[in-house]
Amino acid sequence: MANGNTGKTSGNTGKAGRRSGGKAGGKTGKIEKYERGTRSYTMSHIRGKDTKIEVLVRSYLFRRGLRFRKNDKRYPGHPDIVLPKYHVIVFVNGCFWHMHESCGKQSMPKSNVEFWNAKLLRNRERDCRQHRQLLADGWRVIDVWECELARKVREERLERLYTQIVDSGEPHIDETNDSRWDALGERAGSQDAIDTSR
């Protein structure tokens, strides 16, 4: 299946924008951050149906014996993983495309800032809507973020995900420090969808 790569790879023009700043020799961290914002970074994070991180999560859950549907078009957002038995829906989110907040991978491209800003904000708004809808329909929704699947932390996150799925006692939403869920909580009104602290 096509992985959603749009084929717009004409950006490989050798444009060395990184070096045009003239502030070389200063903070290397800044340079790295910029590189993440380059087009090649962006293109490598094109949302696809079977991106590497999704495959990672699916194969882990499968190995743990869980069975699920994938990219189920019957639900808002065509969730990556649907586990009807546990009434759980899992989204595996690229940090860039889904604007993971306070996350190092979520740096904005340095060109066409307005375009990207608007686009990503639309993505986020859509995510919020879809989550709200799923919660309203009684699903538990769990977000797994790309940065949580970095090699060093991956195993821990996946184990925790498994627990989150099979322990049906705790309702809803992963404990991301994501302010969008605050907004979501307000809009969700009296439902204690967010409060998992008990």
Residues in contact with Zn ion by CB under 5 A are 95, 100, 103, 105, 145, 147
The amino acid that residue 161 corresponds to is: L
**Nearest-approach distance from CB 124 to Zn ion, in angstroms:** 13
Residue 37 vs 188, nearer CB to Zn ion: 37
Residue 97 vs 139, nearer CB to Zn ion: 97
Tokens 């993505």 locate to 123
Residue 147 vs 166, nearer CB to Zn ion: 147
**Nearest-approach distance from CB 47 to Zn ion, in angstroms:** 15
**Nearest-approach distance from CB 1 to Zn ion, in angstroms:** 25
Residue 79 vs 94, nearer CB to Zn ion: 94
